[in-house]
Amino acid sequence: MRTKYITAFVALALFATGCTKLDENLNGQIGNTGVSSGNVAALLNASYTAMRSPYQGTYGWWALQEFPTDEAIAPTRAGDWDDNGAWRALHLHRWATDHPRISNVFRDLNSVSFVTTNLFQFNPTPVQAAEARFLRAMAQFSILDGWNQVPYREPGEDVTQPSKVRQAPEALDYIIAELNAILPDLPNGPNYQANKDAARVLLMKCYLNKGAFLNRQTPTFDAADMNQVITLADQIINTGKYTLSANYFDNFAPNNDALSKENIFTAQNLGGSDAGGVNSTWIAGLHYNQRPGGNNGFATLSDFYNKFEANDQRRGVAYPGVTNQAGVRAGFLVGQQTDQTGAILKDRRGNNLIFTPEVSIIERDPNHLEVAGIRVIKYPVDYTNLATGIAENDWVYFRYADVLLMKAEALLRTSQNGPALTLVNGLRTVRGATPLASLTLANLLDERGREFYWEGMRRQDLIRFGQFLTPTQEKKVDDPKYLLFPIPNNQVTNTNLVQNPGY
């Protein structure tokens, strides 16, 4: 049980200074003598805690998966949200090798990889080793997804030397082999612990994205890989452990650990005492005059919002314990905003607070600055722990809905259209959406967008479906080099890393 994190933070601190550059010392290397099983448990907790920085909240891997797509935009609002153009560069595909967000995420993902590797020096149990190897595989999968090459070290390796690097496809083969090797030793749960079904989900993603990792401009899909996706999905389905939640937003609620019927792997957050940055998912978009007061930044785009039917539950609902607290709904916030009594809210200029579908990457109209853009509340606000700023909502990594839609995609890509359509329409029925008459790659991509918006999946999906370079509302031109992120400037001293083409 990972319910205590004090020792985890201490252990993680030992590594933090050495993880900022891959070719510098990992100063937290500890000797082999005097290490008890309790120390190994603390190191494993530190590995889970290390996952927070790249994955939880809206400023890490999530930002790199969402802002380069049609789902998310952070418009410059006069002097607000300019950040030297960093957010604009992500959305418009104009980033360079010195982009701070790309550099920080690359560092933080590799920190997870190296902290987990360090644990193997200290005689972990088979279960502890399997958990650490899973977390490492997950981080390395993200690194491969973003940069097409994965730095790594062996346990106990001389950290004064540059880390070695696996290129694709070797890196993907390694991750697949790791996941298959640890499956027997992983526990069956709880879902905030690395578990067998989480490993199966990650294996599904490996096989489904293999063709895209090998050729991002023109992905191909081998029937054998698709069959692996289907087999793994059936193994998860046949456990009988998961069903689609009747209320979509129960999966993300403050007590989602109790409410959700479909979360497979999550990060445990303890409201009021110890959690990652899940509260940034609502603070980044809410207006200053809403409750809680937000930073009035992130929004979605009208073309994406218009993919939803009016009766689709995922588009937005009043949520118990949230809307009655402050008027904030779950889902998309568009139009006039009110408090819990129905009273009309105003912006700071005294105008009605009406969030508009219209939004530009640079907002200049003084009357539009504070209201441009549809806001998104994917995780219902935790009002119980609002004063502490430490929210209870467990961060969702993998959900059962993804298992079903990945299986549907693998079926569709192997010309099994009927069973694929049945899976998709079963999900749409639960979400309150009209069944589709037929299934195509185009409307399946739209369905994944509707189901997983604001969950940090969109870039990977668009690349796999061949749509990442397609012009969108604000991004009119593109260059294939942006299918990969650049190796950051502060990492190129590691000569084993190869700068990606075009940078």
- Per-residue pLDDT, 13: 36
* Residues 398, 365: Cα–Cα separation, whole Å: 40
For the question of whether the overall pTM of this predicted structure is more than 0.75, the answer is yes
> Phi and psi for 440 in degrees, rounded to 5?
-125, 170
For the segment 416-464, what is each residue's pLDDT rounded down to a tens digit? 999 999 999 999 999 999 999 999 999 999 999 999 999 999 999 999 9
- Per-residue pLDDT, 501: 97
* Residues 467, 443: Cα–Cα separation, whole Å: 12
* Residues 202, 142: Cα–Cα separation, whole Å: 11
Question: Secondary structure of the chain: what % helix, strand, coil (to 5)?
Answer: 45, 10, 45
* Residues 260, 448: Cα–Cα separation, whole Å: 19
- Per-residue pLDDT, 15: 36
Averaged pLDDT, 17-29:
31
* Residues 447, 427: Cα–Cα separation, whole Å: 10
For the segment 355-382, what is each residue's pLDDT rounded down to a tens digit? 999 999 999 999 999 999 999 999 999 9
Q: Is 77 helix (H, G, I), strand (E, B) or coil?
A: strand
Averaged pLDDT, 305-324:
97
- Per-residue pLDDT, 38: 60
Averaged pLDDT, 307-317:
98
Tokens at residue 211, please?
A: 């063709």
Q: How confident is the model at residue 226 (pLDDT cuts 50, 70, 90)?
A: very high
Instruction: Name every residue whose Cβ is closer than 8 Å to that of residue 126 and which is 6 or more positions away in sequence.
Output: 185
With 60 as the cut, is the pLDDT of residue 32 above it? no
With 80 as the cut, is the pLDDT of residue 33 above it? no
How many CA atoms are closer than 13 Å to the CA of 188, on its beta-carbon side?
Answer: 6
Domain ranges of the chain: 6-70+92-186, 225-268+394-469, 277-391
Averaged pLDDT, 333-342:
98
Averaged pLDDT score across all residues of the chain: 92
First-residue to last-residue Cα distance in the chain: 44
For the segment 239-291, what is each residue's pLDDT rounded down to a tens digit? 999 999 999 999 999 999 999 999 999 999 999 999 999 999 999 999 999 99
Averaged pLDDT, 189-206:
98
* Residues 140, 109: Cα–Cα separation, whole Å: 7
Q: How confident is the model at residue 79 (pLDDT cuts 50, 70, 90)?
A: confident
How many CA atoms are closer than 13 Å to the CA of 258, on its beta-carbon side?
Answer: 3
- Per-residue pLDDT, 159: 85
- Per-residue pLDDT, 21: 33
Whether residue 54 is preceded by a cis peptide bond, meaning omega within 30 degrees of 0, is: no
Element at 395 (helix H, strand E) = strand 395-399
With 90 as the cut, is the pLDDT of residue 56 above it? yes
With 90 as the cut, is the pLDDT of residue 312 above it? yes
What percent of the chain is modeled with pLDDT above 70? 92
Amino acid identity of residue 300, one-letter, is: T
Least confident residue range of 75-84, 184-193, 306-315, 398-407 = 75-84
* Residues 349, 363: Cα–Cα separation, whole Å: 16
Fold of 225-268+394-469: 1.25.40
With 50 as the cut, is the pLDDT of residue 19 above it? no
With 50 as the cut, is the pLDDT of residue 142 above it? yes
With 80 as the cut, is the pLDDT of residue 23 above it? no
Averaged pLDDT, 224-233:
99
Q: How confident is the model at residue 62 (pLDDT cuts 50, 70, 90)?
A: very high
Instruction: Name every residue whose Cβ is closer than 8 Å to that of residue 229 and which is 6 or more positions away in sequence.
Output: 204, 207, 208, 406, 407, 409, 410
Cβ neighbours of 210 (radius 10 Å): 23
With 50 as the cut, is the pLDDT of residue 18 above it? no
* Residues 435, 495: Cα–Cα separation, whole Å: 53
Averaged pLDDT, 152-167:
93
